[in-house]
């Protein structure tokens, strides 16, 4: 039976992986809406290929280029923040929420409030607005499927089991490209080096987050919201091979681990086919060829991001939203060669120290906190140097 799907963030790495899976299972899916921030020609190309009904750019300045690229196709073109939310609210069997950063908050909420099934790849939605989003999921009767490789791994390990029987959840981290460097070497890390992840093919922002370990800290917060076992029962361990994607330990000390290739098409396929399974074009996992799987403790002295994230969720209130906004600003500055790699987490910590706000109760509150935190983070950048 053909199912309908909308992909928010269709031109990013998650969107591209999702479309590749659909390409290999073309008769199973009808694409309703595809969105991008801009990338008008790329968006138009995939909209034509998959015969989408509507294509939307978040940046309204790109709408003219999109309309030109779609001319004669019969595909509707739209642009702007409201158009993104309207696309997200389309009645489909599944919505893939893969817009990176806080920009994905409102469209993700629009999809949730419609009450459908959402494959959530936008971790910032849970980091910045976890309680609000979960409340909306409950009220709308929506189904939230975690698409991050780690959270999808946990989801798979929990299948058929009562979360009350869980003793501990362990998130695995590759450690990024710089885990073996010392403090002095980290100071001279370049943008180009940070964008070369040893295992995963991801977008620029997430790749830098992986290098700082901020991505794992954000995933710690996300896991807290998705799997309520208590903060003390969620751990992070470095696993450089990225073969074990996460583990769940039960009361009887048995540990279930989900393993697979370092390819986002694996967790995406899990969501697309849930509660069943689907074929993927990937090569099977060859453990004999891999040979060795290793694990090591995190180094929060050199990579303090996981500590900062843990302290932010322990503090609660607006702190996680402030953390997320400050990190987006700091990563943006690093990618623009304005600050050193080691200043990314420093800017985040300085922003958390400078700015506090009441606990947000609505999405509008979260967006207001986000805007305020970005102002403070930019102030913190003024004292940032390459030393």
The CATH number for 329's domain is 1.10.1740.10
pLDDT digits over 330-384, tens only? 999 999 999 999 999 999 999 999 998 899 999 999 999 999 999 999 999 987 5
User: Residue 160's pLDDT band (boundaries 50, 70, 90)?
Assistant: confident
CB neighbour burial string for 171-209, b if at least 16 within 10 angstroms, e if fewer: bbbbbbbbbebeeeebeebeeeebeebebbebbbbbbbb
Asked if 194 and 46 sit in the same domain, the reply is no
**Residue 35: pLDDT above 80?**
yes
Asked if 161 and 20 sit in the same domain, the reply is no
pLDDT digits over 46-62, tens only? 999 999 999 999 999 99
Sequential DSSP letters for 1-51: --EEEEEETTTSHHHHHHHHHHHHTGGGEEEEEEEESS-HHHHHHHHHHTT
Asked if 53 and 132 sit in the same domain, the reply is yes
Contact 357, 382 (CB under 8 A): no
Neighbours of 373 (CB within 10 A): 30
For 352, the domain range is 316-387
- Final residue in a domain of this structure, among 119, 146, 173: 146
- Final residue in a domain of this structure, among 283, 310, 337: 310
Asked if 138 and 217 sit in the same domain, the reply is no
User: Residue 100's pLDDT band (boundaries 50, 70, 90)?
Assistant: confident
pTM for the whole structure: 0.93
**Residue 387: pLDDT above 60?**
no
Task: Give 360's DSSP letter.
Answer: P
pLDDT digits over 220-243, tens only? 999 999 999 999 999 999 999 999
Asked if 164 and 298 sit in the same domain, the reply is yes
Asked if 126 and 174 sit in the same domain, the reply is no
Asked if 120 and 236 sit in the same domain, the reply is no
Residue 122: its pLDDT value, please? Answer: 87
Asked if 129 and 235 sit in the same domain, the reply is no
On the 0-12 / 13-18 / 19+ scale of CB atoms within 10 A, 286 is exposed
Asked if 223 and 349 sit in the same domain, the reply is no
**Cα gap 205→172, rounded to integer Å:** 19
């Amino acid at each position: 039976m053909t199912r309908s799907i909308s992909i928010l963030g269709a031109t990013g790495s998650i969107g591209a992986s999702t479309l590749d899976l659909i390409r290999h299972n073309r008769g199973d899916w009808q694409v309703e809406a595809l969105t991008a921030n801009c990338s008008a020609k790329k968006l138009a190309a995939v909209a034509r290929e998959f015969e989408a009904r509507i294509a939307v750019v978040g940046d309204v300045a790109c709408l003219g280029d999109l309309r030109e690229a779609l001319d004669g196709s019969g595909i509707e073109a739209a642009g702007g923040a409201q158009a993104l939310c309207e696309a997200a609210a389309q009645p489909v069997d599944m919505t893939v929420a893969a817009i990176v950063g806080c920009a994905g908050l409102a469209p993700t909420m629009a999809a949730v409030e419609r009450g459908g099934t959402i494959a959530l790849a936008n971790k910032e939605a849970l980091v910045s607005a976890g309680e609000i989003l979960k409340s909306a999921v409950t009220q709308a009767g929506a189904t939230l499927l975690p698409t991050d490789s780690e959270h999808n791994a946990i989801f798979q390990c929990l299948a058929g089991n009562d979360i009350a029987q869980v003793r501990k959840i362990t998130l695995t981290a590759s450690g990024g490209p710089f885990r073996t460097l010392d403090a002095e070497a980290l100071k001279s890390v370049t943008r180009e080096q940070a964008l070369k992840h040893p295992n995963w093919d991801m977008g620029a922002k997430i790749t830098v987050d992986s290098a700082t370990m901020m991505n794992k800290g954000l995933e710690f917060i996300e896991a807290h919201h998705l799997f309520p076992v208590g903060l003390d029962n969620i751990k992070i361990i470095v696993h450089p091979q990225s073969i074990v994607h996460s583990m769940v330990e039960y009361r009887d000390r048995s540990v279930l681990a989900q393993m697979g290739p370092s390819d986002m098409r694996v967790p995406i396929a899990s969501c697309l086919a849930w509660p069943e399974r689907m074929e993927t074009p990937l090569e099977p996992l060859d453990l004999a060829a891999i040979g060795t799987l290793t694990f090591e403790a995190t180094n929060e002295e050199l990579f303090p991001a996981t500590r900062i994230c843990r302290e932010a969720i322990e503090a609660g209130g607006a702190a996680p939203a402030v953390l997320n906004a400050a990190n987006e600003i700091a990563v943006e500055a690093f990618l623009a060669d304005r600050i050193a790699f080691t200043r990314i987490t420093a800017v985040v910590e300085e922003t958390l120290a400078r700015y506090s706000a009441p606990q947000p109760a609505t999405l509008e509150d979260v967006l207001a906190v986000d805007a305020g935190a970005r102002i403070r983070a930019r102030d913190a950048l003024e004292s940032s140097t390459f030393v």
